[in-house]
Chain A
Amino acid sequence: QVNLLQSGAALVKPGASVKLSCKASGYTFTDYYIHWVKQSHGKSLEWIGYINPNSGYTNYNEKFKSKATLTVDKSTNTAYMELSRLTSEDSATYYCTRSLRRVPYYFDYWGQGVMVTVSS
Chain B
Amino acid sequence: DIQMTQSPASLSASLGETVTIECRASEDIYSNLAWYQQKPGNSPQLLIYDANSLADGVPSRFSGSGSGTQYSLKINSLQSEDVASYFCQQYNNYPFTFGSGTKLEIK
- A residues near B (Cβ < 8 Å) are 35, 43-47, 59, 61-63, 95, 97, 99, 103-113
Interface residues on chain B, size class:
20 to 34
Q: Determine which residue in B44, B94, B96 has the highest number of CB atoms from chain A within 10 A of its CB, and name it.
A: B96
The answer to whether B44 touches A44, judged by C-beta atoms less than 8 angstroms apart, is no
The answer to whether A44 touches B96, judged by C-beta atoms less than 8 angstroms apart, is no
Among candidates A103, A105, A108, A112, residue contacting B96 with C-beta atoms closer than 8 Å: A105
The answer to whether B89 touches A45, judged by C-beta atoms less than 8 angstroms apart, is yes
Rounded to whole Å, the gap between the CB of B43 and the closest CB of chain A is 4
The answer to whether B95 touches A44, judged by C-beta atoms less than 8 angstroms apart, is no
- Per-residue CB contact flags for chain B residues 62-83 toward chain A (1 = under 8 Å, else 0) read 0000000000000000000000
* Inter-chain contacts of A62 with B (CB < 8 A): 95
Known: A105-B91, A106-B49. A45 touches B44 (CB 8 A): yes
Q: Which residue of B lies closest to A49 (CB)?
A: B95
Q: Which residue of B lies closest to A4 (CB)?
A: B43
Among candidates B43, B89, B100, residue contacting A110 with C-beta atoms closer than 8 Å: B43
Where chain B touches its partner, the secondary structure class is: loop
Q: List 12 A-B contacts (CB under 8 A).
A: A35-B96, A44-B87, A45-B89, A47-B96, A62-B95, A95-B44, A103-B91, A105-B32, A106-B49, A106-B91, A110-B45, A113-B43
* Inter-chain contacts of B89 with A (CB < 8 A): 45, 106-107
Among candidates B46, B49, B95, residue contacting A47 with C-beta atoms closer than 8 Å: B95
Rounded to whole Å, the gap between the CB of B31 and the closest CB of chain A is 9
Rounded to whole Å, the gap between the CB of B89 and the closest CB of chain A is 7
Q: Which residue of B lies closest to A107 (CB)?
A: B46
The answer to whether A104 touches B49, judged by C-beta atoms less than 8 angstroms apart, is yes
- Per-residue CB contact flags for chain B residues 1-36 toward chain A (1 = under 8 Å, else 0) read 000000000000000000000000000000010101
Beyond the given pairs A45-B89, A107-B44, 4 more chain A to chain B contacts, judged by CB atoms under 8 angstroms and listed by A's residue number, are A44-B100, A47-B96, A63-B95, A110-B44
